[in-house]
Amino acid sequence: MSNLLKDFNQGIIKENPVLRLMIGLCPTLAVSNNAINALGMSVAVAFVLICSNLVVAMIRKITPDEVRIPIFIIVISTFVTISDYIMHAYYPDLYAALGVFVPLIVVNCIILGRAEAFAYRNPVMSSVMDGVGMSLGFALALVSIGVIREILGAGSVFGFQLYNSAVAATIMILPPGAFITIGILMAGLNKLENKVL
Amino acid sequence: MGKIIRLGTILMVFCVVSAAGLAYVYMFTQPQIEANAKLAYEKSVKEVLPKEGKAVAVSPRGYSSTINLLVGIDAQGKVIGIKVLDQKETPGLGASIVKPDFLKQFIGKSARDPIEVKNDVDAITGATISSRAVCKGVREALEKK
């Protein structure tokens, strides 16, 4: 049980995919311009990551080594397409905001990375816990960045206006704001690690 | 040779299972997706056309995207409603063309008005090109009608 807890814990801070492993940065930069987009993206990635970790761990015994990567891709793209259809059908506003980044979850390195590095070598329960932990870590990073950028760049948080957007620093919701925020968060986490972790 | 066939067969089995799963999800999401699109369009038409008239869709080229506009024009040839259906202009700058404060300037315009930035339309600060594109779209809609 303690092992499962460790698999779960690992991804949240210690091996946070975005801020520690630095993978999956492309969607992180692109859709973290406000908190709602960040949350929507996190949910979609969590769904795909947990399902693909589960399936990859289930089929790892019958997967031949030579074709494991194409098989992972098939599994991942199937779940991505499912989440794409479901979001398009039931959450059209979110779908419109995330746009091309939903299908692009296929090439999110976190998902293939976890399939290859973890789910392919570990039993089903551990892999699911790893997926949940990594998803939470991704969500934590993405939503933090989204909240910071939205507050500084648009004067609102989750669409709720805090102050007049005319005095907000627009650069924060433009691409440079993403780099600035990620850099500062990474630095902060590194500092924290030297002290407490 | 035997190995290639074995690996190929395994891959094919995975593809077939995946395709079947996707076909199933597609079957029950597709009607909903189409209904959403229809609903969204009807809602927009209602918004730009509170009374009798004609809704004209135009797609001028903006700064970083094609702006899809729906313009409601009444029987006298005046703009009575305008809505941005879709745009991917710069967030915080050009994307402000969707704001009512900007769009309400076009209400009441007709083909006789110049509808030009710096003339009878105030552009959004930092988004002259996006603002101009909307003006162009409205002029186009009035001509088309």
**B52 has a pLDDT exceeding 90:** no
Neighbouring C-beta atoms of residue B118, cutoff 10 Å:
11
Q: What percent of chain A has pLDDT over 90?
A: 40
Q: What percent of chain B has pLDDT over 90?
A: 52
The residue in chain A having the minimum alpha-carbon distance to the alpha carbon of residue B89 is A174
CB-CB under 8 Å, A33 with B91: yes
Q: Which pLDDT score, from 0 to 100, does residue B49 have? A: 86
CB-CB under 8 Å, B25 with A82: yes
What is the pLDDT averaged over residues A108-121? Answer: 89
Query: Confidence class of residue A173 from pLDDT cuts 50, 70 and 90?
Result: confident
Phi, psi of B124, rounded to the nearest 5 degrees: -80, 135
DSSP strand pairing (B54-58 vs A160-161): unpaired
Nearest to A44 by CA among A13, A90, A113: A90
**A2 has a pLDDT exceeding 80:** no
The residue in chain B having the minimum alpha-carbon distance to the alpha carbon of residue A30 is B91
CB-CB under 8 Å, A33 with B32: no
CA distance B32 to chain A (A): 5
CA distance A94 to chain B (A): 13
- Note whether B14 contacts A: Cβ–Cβ < 8 A: yes
pLDDT in tens, A78-102: 999 999 999 989 988 888 878 778 8
Q: Which pLDDT score, from 0 to 100, does residue A32 have? A: 87
Q: Does domain B49-144 have CATH number 3.90.1010.10?
A: yes
Give the single-character DSSP code of B90.
Answer: P
CB-CB under 8 Å, A74 with B22: no
List B residues 34-93 in contact with A (Cβ-Cβ < 8 A): 36, 40, 86, 88, 90-93
pLDDT in tens, A138-165: 999 999 999 999 999 888 888 888 888 7
Q: Which pLDDT score, from 0 to 100, does residue A95 have? A: 86
What is the pLDDT averaged over residues A23-27? Answer: 83
**Domain boundaries of chain A, sorted by first residue:** 2-147
Extract the tokens encoding A111: 């998902």
**B145 has a pLDDT exceeding 80:** no
The burial class, CB within 10 Å (0-12 / 13-18 / 19+), for B36 is middle
**Domain boundaries of chain B, sorted by first residue:** 1-47, 49-144
Lowest mean per-residue pLDDT among A46-50, B15-19, B46-50, B54-58: B46-50
What is the pLDDT averaged over residues B92-108? Answer: 89
What is the pLDDT averaged over residues B116-122? Answer: 90
Specify the DSSP element, H or E, that contains B138: helix B128-144
CB-CB under 8 Å, B18 with A75: yes
Neighbouring C-beta atoms of residue A190, cutoff 10 Å:
13
Q: Which pLDDT score, from 0 to 100, does residue B24 have? A: 95
**A195 has a pLDDT exceeding 90:** no
What is the pLDDT averaged over residues A22-33? Answer: 84
Mean pLDDT of chain A: 87
Position with higher pLDDT, B127 vs A24: B127
Q: Which pLDDT score, from 0 to 100, does residue A22 have? A: 83
What is the pLDDT averaged over residues B9-20? Answer: 94
What is the pLDDT averaged over residues B58-76? Answer: 91
Measured between CB atoms, which of B11, B36, B126 is closest to A71? B11
CB-CB under 8 Å, B6 with A64: yes
The residue in chain B having the minimum alpha-carbon distance to the alpha carbon of residue A98 is B88
Lowest mean per-residue pLDDT among A59-63, A163-167, A169-173, B137-141: A163-167
What is the pLDDT averaged over residues B62-80? Answer: 91
